[in-house]
Amino acid sequence: MSLVSDDRSDIHTDVIVEIDDLREKHRTTVDSGETRTVDIDVDVDLEPGSYEATVEAIGANNELSQQVEVVEPVTVETEQRPAESAIRTG
């Protein structure tokens, strides 16, 4: 979702996303004269996929229905390896 502020003032807004019974709120600020894309990172109990959602930006005169994408969380695993010896014999 993109929020656009006019040149006169910053927008301090709560972005609320509703999907069925799920309701998530995210606080954000958009500087005056700027456009900001809002990514909301929350834990949800939904299968990954596209959902129709109502997205409301309070204080930004913005309310729309749009597709939102629920994706699997990205986890980064590191592999621990034993340190190799720097001394060679032979």
**Cα separation of 84 and 88, whole Å?**
10
* Ranges 23-37, 48-62, 70-84: which has the least confidence: 70-84
pLDDT at 27 over 60: yes
pLDDT at 83 over 60: no
Identify which has the larger pLDDT, 89 or 76: 76
Q: pLDDT tens digits, residue range 41-64?
A: 666 677 777 777 766 666 555 444
pLDDT at 20 over 70: yes
Residue type, 63: E
